[in-house]
């Protein structure tokens, strides 16, 4: 890139970022961007994921299950089912529970936006040049999935911040020279990232094999697991925190019966009627099993399994879609054997990014806002490119693929048309296919680094 173009970008990127943020946030009120989303154009869903959040704490105050979203006194005009960690309902949702529903929604949007700003600042601090610093802000904040996250009010911004912390921690360990200060910062970042994810959306559980096997991250990971285990146990056994608990003995029996969980604890198969097992706080964990084989064939679902099933016209066995998870777990046991520290942690960072993509590839019910979690990966690419990582020549392809995910899906071109299977494939195309491309490239690079470890 020539100097003139770089200087121009450095000058105008802040303006572009600010203008986008204004448009994005204003659109929550004006509806300017609604035409790009099927639900916004056809249904009334603004805040639908949010109103369940304060309801968790209000339910707890009333002595009923935090997960009984539609029980007790209503809060807000509508709501989806709460599925976050029960601790999130007490530690975070409680702060928003004493406001009127729409006031509370707007406060939470502001809270989520501040978390995104903080994540952008963290990446920008790591950048070596003004260009990559300013790109970090734009890339973290820009994106139609990000707008949709704010629109529905989902509690996804904490996960984005958690991933940012974890990626930066692992990147720190790949520095040419490590100081005590670097190591301490890396461990603080890792602890923050793990705990935030554990107590919101535990996507990092799939990262644990790698983090426990790497000597530099093992101790911090074990400490976080200990905290997570103790707090989670309290939210199971303490009656005031789990007012409609089924009891530890019954829970242990149910938790080992996957067939029972899948047949009795799936919200869609139960037509949104909660039974006693689904009101116990353990549903936060067991719901992943309950939905593991279920395909929700819906226009708003953007998962690889649903994409392929729509393409084929019939459902593949769910085991095929778990292959990306099995592959990343296998590689998690191999990466620690790379002898060169820089190569090992550059590879580990790639693997952690690939693990985040397994959610889109292996989990059946993926909503569009969840693609906002690609933002930390995208924002880091310019930083890594300047660092001359071993996969530098592949970063442009990875970067473009991630940018495509941030663009609107093709629904806006099909607005008003009857949604057929072919149109569903087009709508999902620029969410699913770029993730597949990035995953394949990353896995190939990881395997390559393992075979080159002694060179």
Helix axes 375-386, 157-172, angle to 10 degrees: 20
Residue 310 is predicted with a pLDDT of: 93
What is the spatial distance between Cα 390 and Cα 342, in angstroms, rounded to a whole number?
10
Q: Indicate left, alpha or beta for 271 from its phi (over 0: left) and psi (-120 to 50: alpha).
A: left
What is the spatial distance between Cα 250 and Cα 241, in angstroms, rounded to a whole number?
18
Whether this prediction's pTM lies above 0.85 is answered by yes
The residue behind tokens 């029980």 is 71
Q: Mind listing the pLDDT tens digit of every residue in the chain (455 residues)?
A: 677 777 888 889 999 999 999 999 999 999 999 999 988 877 789 999 999 999 999 999 999 999 999 999 999 999 999 999 999 999 999 999 999 999 999 999 999 999 999 999 999 999 999 999 999 999 999 999 999 999 999 999 999 999 999 999 999 999 988 899 999 999 999 999 999 999 999 999 999 999 999 999 999 999 999 999 999 999 999 999 999 999 999 999 999 899 999 999 999 889 889 999 999 999 999 998 888 777 878 888 999 999 999 999 988 988 899 999 999 999 999 999 999 999 999 999 999 999 999 999 999 999 999 999 999 999 999 999 998 899 999 999 999 999 999 999 988 888 777 788 889 999 999 999 999 999 999 999 999 987 874 44
Q: Indicate left, alpha or beta for 295 from its phi (over 0: left) and psi (-120 to 50: alpha).
A: beta
Residue 455 is predicted with a pLDDT of: 44
CB 168 within 8 A of CB 123: yes
CB 286 within 8 A of CB 261: yes
Residue 418 is predicted with a pLDDT of: 78
Residue 72 vs residues 65, 184, 366: alpha-carbon distances, Å: 9, 46, 29
CB 116 within 8 A of CB 140: yes
Q: What single DSSP character describes residue 409?
A: P
CB 242 within 8 A of CB 236: yes
């Amino acid at each position: 890139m020539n100097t003139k173009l770089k200087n121009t970008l450095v000058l105008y990127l802040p303006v572009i970022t600010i203008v986008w943020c204004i448009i994005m946030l204003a659109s929550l009120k004006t509806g300017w961007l609604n035409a790009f989303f099927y639900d916004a154009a056809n249904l009334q869903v603004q805040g639908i994921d949010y109103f369940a959040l304060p309801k968790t704490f209000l339910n707890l105050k009333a002595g009923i299950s935090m997960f009984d979203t539609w029980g007790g006194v209503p809060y807000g005009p509508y709501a989806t089912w709460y599925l976050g960690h029960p601790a999130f309902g007490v530690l975070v949702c409680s702060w928003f529970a004493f406001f009127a529903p729409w006031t509370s929604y707007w406060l939470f949007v502001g809270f989520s936006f501040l978390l995104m700003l903080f994540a952008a600042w963290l990446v920008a601090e790591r950048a070596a040049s003004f260009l990559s610093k300013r790109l970090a802000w734009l890339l973290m904040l820009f994106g139609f999935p990000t707008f949709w996250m704010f629109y529905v009010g989902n509690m996804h911004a904490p996960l984005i911040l958690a991933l940012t912390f974890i990626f930066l921690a692992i990147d720190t360990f790949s520095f040419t020279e490590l100081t005590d200060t670097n190591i301490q910062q890396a461990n603080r970042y890792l602890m923050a990232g793990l705990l935030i994810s554990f107590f919101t959306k535990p996507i990092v559980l799939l990262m644990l094999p790698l983090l426990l096997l790497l000597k530099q991250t093992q101790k911090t990971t074990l400490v976080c697991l200990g905290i997570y285990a103790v707090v989670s146990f309290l939210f199971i056994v303490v009656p005031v925190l789990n007012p409609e608990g089924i009891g530890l003995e019954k829970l242990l029996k149910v938790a080992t019966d996957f067939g029972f969980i899948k047949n009795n604890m799936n919200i869609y198969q139960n037509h949104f009627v909660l039974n006693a097992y689904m009101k116990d706080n353990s549903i936060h964990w067991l719901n992943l099993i309950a939905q593991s084989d279920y395909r929700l064939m819906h226009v708003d679902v953007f998962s690889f399994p649903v994409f392929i099933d729509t393409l084929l016209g019939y459902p593949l066995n769910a085991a095929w879609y778990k292959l990306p998870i099995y592959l990343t777990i296998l590689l998690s046991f191999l990466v620690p054997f790379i002898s060169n520290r820089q190569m090992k942690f550059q590879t580990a960072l790639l693997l952690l990014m690939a693990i985040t993509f397994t959610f889109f590839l292996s989990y059946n019910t993926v909503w569009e806002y969840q693609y906002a979690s690609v933002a930390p990966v995208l924002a880091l690419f310019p930083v890594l490119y300047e660092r001359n990582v071993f996969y530098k020549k592949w970063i442009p392809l990875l970067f473009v693929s991630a940018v495509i995910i941030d663009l609107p899906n093709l629904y806006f071109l099909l607005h008003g048309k009857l949604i057929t299977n072919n149109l569903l494939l087009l709508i999902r195309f620029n969410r699913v296919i770029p993730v597949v491309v990035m995953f394949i490239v990353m896995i190939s690079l990881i395997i390559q680094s393992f075979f080159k470890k002694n060179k």
